Amino acid sequence: MLSRLVLTDFRNHAELTLATGPGFVVLTGDNGAGKTNILEAVSLLAPGRGLRRAPLGEMARQGGPGGFGVAATLDDDTVIATGAQPPAIERRVVRINGAAAAATALAEWLTVLWLTPAMDRLFAATASERRRFLDRLTLALAPGHAVHSNRYEAAMRARNRLLAEDRPADPEWLAALEAQMAEHGSAIDAARRDTVAALAARLADAPEGPFARAGLTLEGWRDAGDTLAADLAAGRGRDAAAGRALAGPHRSDLAVTHLGKAQPAALCSTGEQKALLLGLILGHADLVAARTGRAPLLLLDEVAAHLDPVRRAALFERLAGKGQIWMTGTEPALFAELGGDAVRIAVGTAG
C-alpha cells in the first residue's frame, strides 16, 4: 500500500501531500476538484500510460513550470517516483529509492488496477480497448508481460515502416523483426490465456451475488507454436497493402459473457455491463492476492455513484480486507456504509 503520496505540478495540483493508511482511502469533493487526477497520479506508479492514457505533457499543471512529479512511499519505506521535465516532457523518468529504473520495473513493486466511468462501455468498445484491459489484468500476474508487449509493439512498428517504403525492404531485416514478433507474441499469448483461464475458473466458482458473474474466453489469433514468423513472412504483400500486420496477438479479443443470462456482455444493459465489470475486477483482485500473496491496489473512480444503498454496502463488504482501495465520489454520504473504517480526504478545487 501507499503510506504517503506527493504530487508536484500534476494536473490541477500545484503541491499536494496525502497521508494514507491500509484499507479504504475515500476522496470526496465537487466535480473538477481533482479527485480523478489523484487516482491518475497513483496509476502512474505502475507500468503503462495511466488510467487516462494521456500524453505526459497533458499531465503537467497549466501555468506551471512545464513538468510534473509523482512520488509515493510504500509501507516498507520504499520510495517510488515518476514524472517528466521539459524539454523532454514526453520522456517518462522513473526512480526507485533514488536510483533510475525502467517503467516496467514498477510492476515488481506495485500492482495497480482501476475502474473508471469511461470503462463502463468496455464490452461495446473496440477490441483494442479490451486487449489493453486484459493486458493490465495479465501484468498483475506476470510482471514480465510489459517487456514482451513493448518489444512486440516496437518490432511490429518497425516492420510496418519497412513494408510501407517505396523501395523493396531488406528481407533479412524483415526476417529478424518477424522473429522478434514471433518470440514475444508467443509469450504475450501464453500469458493472456493463462490469465483468462484462471480468472474464468475463479468467476465460475464464485457464489451468486449482487454483481454478475462473467464468462471469459480469448478469441481471434492463437499461437500455434513457431508459426507466426512464417505466417508474417508469407503475408508481407498482404500486410503492405493493409498497412498493418494481420496476424499476431494484436488480433486477439477478450470475449465476455453474462453467465447468469448466457448472453454476450455487449448485448447486456448498461447496468448489467457495469455489474459484470465490477465482478470481474473483484474476482481478479482475489486471484492476484491468491497467486502473488500481495493484494493489488485498487482505484475505483465514482464507483458508488449509480449503486443503490444495498449494492453499495455489498460492494464495500466485498472489498473489505482486500488491500488498499482508493475511491472517489462527490458526496461523503455515498460512503456512509463504510462507517469509520476509512481514511477520508476532502479534495478542494485548489491543489
Gyration radius (Cα) of the chain, Å: 21
Indicate if 227 and 308 belong to the same structural domain.
Answer: no
Query: Are 45 and 80 within 8 A, CB to CB?
Result: yes
Indicate if 218 and 343 belong to the same structural domain.
Answer: no
Indicate if 211 and 314 belong to the same structural domain.
Answer: no
CA angle 117, 28, 135 (to 5 degrees): 35
| Average pLDDT value for the chain | 92
Indicate if 229 and 152 belong to the same structural domain.
Answer: yes
For 202, the enclosing helix (H) or strand (E) is helix 171-205
Indicate if 279 and 307 belong to the same structural domain.
Answer: no
The percent of residues above 90 in pLDDT, for the chain, comes to 75
Instruction: Quote the CA–CA distance of 71 and 139 in Å, as a whole number.
Output: 22
Indicate if 134 and 206 belong to the same structural domain.
Answer: yes
Give the tens place of pLDDT for each residue, 270-292. Answer: 888 888 998 899 999 999 999 98
The count of structural domains within the chain is 2
Instruction: Quote the CA–CA distance of 272 and 274 in Å, as a whole number.
Output: 5
CATH at residue 211:
1.20.1050.90
Domain boundary among 271, 293, 315: 293
Indicate if 301 and 286 belong to the same structural domain.
Answer: no
Is residue 128's pLDDT more than 60?
yes
Domain coverage including residue 185? 120-293
CA angle 71, 76, 79 (to 5 degrees): 20
Indicate if 152 and 244 belong to the same structural domain.
Answer: yes
Indicate if 155 and 277 belong to the same structural domain.
Answer: yes
Give the tens place of pLDDT for each residue, 258-270. Answer: 998 999 999 998 8
Domain boundary among 293, 310, 333: 293
Indicate if 107 and 165 belong to the same structural domain.
Answer: no
Is residue 351's pLDDT more than 80?
no
Q: Is the pTM of this model over 0.75?
A: yes
